[in-house]
Amino acid sequence: MKKIVFATNNSHKLKEIRAIANGKLEILSLSDIESYDEIEENGSTLEENALIKARFIKDKYGYDCFADDTGLEVEAIGNAPGVYSARYAGEHCSPQDNMEKLLREMTGKLNRKARFRTAIALLCNGEQHLFEGEINGRIIEEKRGSAGFGYDPVFQPDGYDQTFAEIGDEQKNKISHRALAMNKLADFLLSEDE
């Protein structure tokens, strides 16, 4: 089975990616390779941030690896928080703080359209590849559900009457932005082995 490093310290993302990979790939975490570095994400796009993380791990540790960056883009507020989704309410904020800030910003707004976008950068066999996934939906007016993480309790994907936090991990991992990007990555890596 192909081994690859996922350049993240986010345990929720790691669990989600491993579930999406469904045993087709052995996904190593940063702690599996004893990397405890803080990687500064100072890119201006999701793609840049994903590449920064992947390059850091490849250059320092030599492993083929991939990294992702994900953003929530809300139309009514200029596609914010976007690349700043994880630190929307400030540098050391919690996901709860981010959601509360977003709900305050959306007060009274009729346009609730939003989308989640994931960019995955892969550095493998001396080549660089990018994979993207996105899902459209809307920001609801109050949090609902307890599954998932991040903005999941306020994001309702198109075609569903539940939020990501209500539909549960199994269903989310079939339709999410990260699932779409990860499936493209997995298909690419598995086709390389054929």
Catalytic residues: 69
Return the residue matching tokens 């991992």.
173
| Backbone torsion region of residue 79, taken as left when φ is above 0, otherwise alpha when ψ lies between -120 and 50, otherwise beta | left
Angle CA 103–40–65, to nearest 5: 105
